[in-house]
Structure 1
Amino acid sequence: MQIAELGDVRLHYRVDGDPDGAPVVFANSLGTDLRLWDPILPHLPDGLRLIRYDKRGHGLSSLPAAPYSMGSLVRDVEALLDHLGARDCMFVGLSIGGMIAQGLAVKRLDLVRAVVLSNTGAKIGTPEMWQERIAAVNAQGIEALADGIMERWFSKDFRAKPELALWRNMLVRQPAEGYAGCSAAISGTDFYTPTSGLRLPALGIAGSEDGSTPPDLVRETVDLIPGSRFHLIRRAGHLPCVEQPEEYARVLTEFLRETGHI
């Protein structure tokens, strides 16, 4: 485990694979930590520098006072990649991580050569919806929302498995202030215009049973980028890297090869 001191935040990060390999950066969803990507790592090819991190207010990273802005989340990973000397990364972002991917690509094309926008949107939900969720978390904690979140995150089949408890526990053990802070960042973000100006290789990944970012939203977002492609993973919800890790890794590996990253 490593910590990067980045001014107003300390980010927990982990680097696996080949330290001299082409960098692939993973940004996870609201309410999860970097272990979200554990299921796909064994299925990825050798020779890659795999960089994962906990965004502010999540996992083992520090907990600055909420609310957060999307700009601060983008600056965090920008500073982390500068700290690590990582350039020309493939950036894989899921949900809020996909928003961070869009924001970083717009800001720093020297850092991002290709993006995977997974289970995300240029805009997710409405400010009113997010304000209701923030109020509920602040008043009752994440536990009060956990069962509804599991329904949006996972397919019916997966919700019947014992493994569901692992992901529910991960969710409810995140700091409520961090969850609320990142919810505020999503609430204030509309990337339709900046994302439509991107010109880089892009892959959209969606889950057929995603109750948080439905496939049409993911397709609409990735279609903003000319030449992008889209892949639908069936029998999966908001976290297809958990439910269908082999397919997720296969599609990602194909994209890495297509873009010359491996």
Structure 2
Amino acid sequence: MKIADLGDIRLHYKDEGPKSGPVVVFANSLGTDLRLWDSVLPHLPKGLRLIRYDKRGHGLSDCPAAPYSMGTLVRDVESLLDYLAVKDCVFVGLSIGGMIAQGLAVKRLDLMRAMVLSNTGAKIGTREMWQDRIEAVKAGGIEALSDSILERWFAPAFRETPEFTAWRNMLIRQPKEGYIGCSAAIAGTDFITPTSGLRLPTLAIAGSEDGSTPPDLVAETAALIPGSRFEIIRRAGHLPCVEQPEAYAALLTTFLSKIGHI
């Protein structure tokens, strides 16, 4: 296990593949850790340098007191990439990870040459909706909301599989303070204007059954960036990299090839 001491935060990360290979960075969703990408990575081309990390308040990273700001989450991964001497990566962000991707592209385009916005938006929900969720988690923990969250995360067929139990356990075992902190960051974020100014190769991915960031929201976000591509993965909810990892990896591979990253 690797921990990057970045001064004000220590982040758990994995850095796999040849250090000289083209870099792909992965940022996961609210309520998950870096294992989110486990099923996708084996299907990607050999020779890539694959970096993933637990954002603050999640997994094995530090969990400071809530609330967090989106600027802080962007600064965390910015510091991690500087720590690892990464430039010109392709940044793959899912849900809040996709918001972090947008913020990083606006702030430090030297770190990124392209991005994948998966199951995300320039703005997700309303401040009031997120505040209601924060209050519910404060009162009853993440488990109190787990059933409704998991219905949005996964298509019905996947919720009948044994694997589903592992994802439920991952969600409810995340630190409550981290979940609240990142929920506050999402509540305070509206990237519609800054994202509309971005000009870099972008792939947007949606899940046909996604109840958290429906395909229309993902498509609207993609439309803010000229020349972006939009793809839907069928029979998948908010985490298509879990439900349809081969299809997800195929979209990533095609995109990496088209932009000359492999």
Runs of 4+ in 1 over 6 A off after TM superposition: none
Tell me which amino acid in the other structure corresponds to 1:217. L
5 Å-filtered alignment, 1:103-182, equals 103-182=103-182
Tell me if the contact between 1:26 and 1:53 (Cα under 8 Å) persists in the aligned partners: yes
Letter in 2 for 1:213: T
Question: Partner of 1:241 in structure 2?
Answer: 241
Q: Map Cα deviations across residues 118-169 of structure 1 (whole Å, 9 max, x no partner).
A: 0000000000000000001111100111111110000000011111001000
Identity %: 77
Q: Which runs of 5+ in 1 are unaligned?
A: none
* Structure 2 unaligned spans of 5+: none
1:48 corresponds in structure 2 to 48
TM-score with structure 1 length normalisation?
0.99
Q: Which moved more, 1:9-18 or 1:241-250?
A: 9-18
Name the structure 2 match of 1:208: 208
For residues 1-262 of structure 1, the aligned pairs below 5 Å read 1-262=1-262
CA distance in 1, matches of 2:18, 2:118: 24
**How many angstroms does 1:6 deviate by?**
1.0
Rounded Cα–Cα distance in structure 2 between residues aligned with 1:22 and 1:113: 11
Kept after mapping to 2: 8 A contact 1:116/1:205: yes
Measure, in 2, the Cα distance between the counterparts of 1:184 and 1:78. 20
Aligned amino acid, residue 179 of structure 1: Y
Distance in 2 (CA, whole Å) between partners of 1:17 and 1:221 is 31
Q: CA deviation at 1:80?
A: 0.1
**CA distance in structure 2 between the partners assigned to 1:196 and 1:40 by the alignment:** 29
SS in 2 for 1:189: coil
Q: Distance in 2 between matches of 1:66 and 1:13?
A: 21
- CA offsets per residue over residues 171-198 of structure 1, 9 Å max, x none? 0000000000000000000000000000
What is the TM-score when the length of structure 2 is the normalising length? 0.99
CA distance in 2, matches of 1:156, 1:17: 35
Whether contact under 8 Å (1:18, 1:46) holds in the other structure is no
Superposed displacement of residue 17, structure 1: 1.6
Between Structure 1 and Structure 2, how many residues are aligned?
A: 262
| RMSD over aligned Cα atoms | 0.5
**CA–CA separation in structure 2 for the residues paired with 1:33 and 1:258:** 29
